[in-house]
Structure 1
Amino acid sequence: MTAHIDLRELGSLGGFFALCDTGTTECDLPTLGRVYQSDAPVRDPLAYRVEKVARALSVPEPRVAVSVAQLGLAARLWSLSLGSAVLFGRVLDLDPALLHWNPDAGAPDDLFLAGTGQLPADSAHIAELVLDRHLEPLSAALRARYRVSAPLLRGNAGSALAGAAREISRWARRAGRPDVAARARLLTTELFEDPRLAATGTRTGTAFRRTSCCLIYRTPGGGLCGDCCFERPPQHSSPPAASG
């Protein structure tokens, strides 16, 4: 099954599956490729996003905001890639040099793709696109700027993938599309065989129980995420290990 990727139809799966429609072929937002570079200026887009999240959540620990910011971007990338794969049999080529990001906006107004390229819809190409070209350099950039652990960020990557697959499954059930749900299950299972994701959690159907903590419980009034490794929020009087 291969079809033209209809961005409007892709966006019907939910906000995380949509791209910003600017109506133009050019955009003055920074590309994610530029954002990931280690020589970014002090007031770079990543720092702006982390500070924005920190203010919104009222958290004094930068690494909590880092975790939330990275988790949100990971969810966008997995959703766009997995969603296009299961709906159309092709994957949007989210080339970091062509994917523009607005650090001041949330989904779906945060990403704009200045290209129309497509990739084969198999797990190897999706892993190369999302993990190698996006999440690995994003993790490196964040770890160079903030005190945050690699296991936490990898756990967020696994959680975001499981969340994207779960949303697709819910949409497929509402739309009467068991074929879409089946393709999502197969691709997600294959993606979680990647060593970078395999140890991030345990999957049972569409449920996911991660082995690390995203630190959301450290926000004021914050509880546990649905896939948290904890049974109840830990008591904390000092910052915990970054991996949770």
Structure 2
Amino acid sequence: MEPIQAAQALDFSLVALFARASLTVKIVMILLIVASFWGWAIIIQKLISLAAARREANRFDRAFWSGEPLDDLFDRLGETPSGASERIFAAGMIEWRRSHREDGALIPGGVQRIDRAMNVAIQREESRLFKGLSFLATVGATAPFIGLFGTVWGIKTAFEGIAMSQNTSLAVVAPGIAEALLATALGLLAAIPAVIFYNKLSGDAERVVGNWEVFADEFSTLLSRQLDGEG
């Protein structure tokens, strides 16, 4: 009964397990904790930015299809608006105005240049929208293995301690195993939310980008109709 009583007397709280861990396992735990907090910061920031992008896109879509002349809408927004959809629209309008000669005729290839200008703007906004998601993918893929490395190292250290003490009682074995398994738990704690939210945020971002691309096509079609005298 003495080994069991000795094991029960040990402190198995997370702080105590961390304090008793070896330096290598402590470094692994710290890396995983930092990755987890950093991942949650990205998750929260992306949830907010994606919600704001959807609201801005809906607001601009209502303004674009309200019947207000496009030149008036562009003059009201300016060349450097704050919203992503507005910046894509502004890129197209800027190129539209640059593609006209002084007599009002369109320079050959103007429609293609407008399309390219909006595509460049979409790619720029897409890069901004997806920024940080690669970190979530990296955490989701590597955190379990980093935690497993900490567990293997901790178990190795625990077995070394058993060999040196020549004592296999529960009081000697249990603390080392518990400390080692804590690294795996932290790895999973960092990886699972990262994988879940990476998939969700990537899907949401792709839908937002898809809406931008649809708008660019509609805008280009509208400009083509005006050139053909149909608008």
Q: Please confirm whether the aligned pair reaches a TM-score higher than 0.5, indicating the same fold.
A: no
Name the TM-score, length of structure 2 as normaliser: 0.29
The answer to which structure, 1 or 2, has the higher relative contact order (CA under 8 A, 6+ apart) is 2
Return the structure number with greater strand share: 1
Structure of higher CA gyration radius: 2
Return the structure number with greater helix share: 2
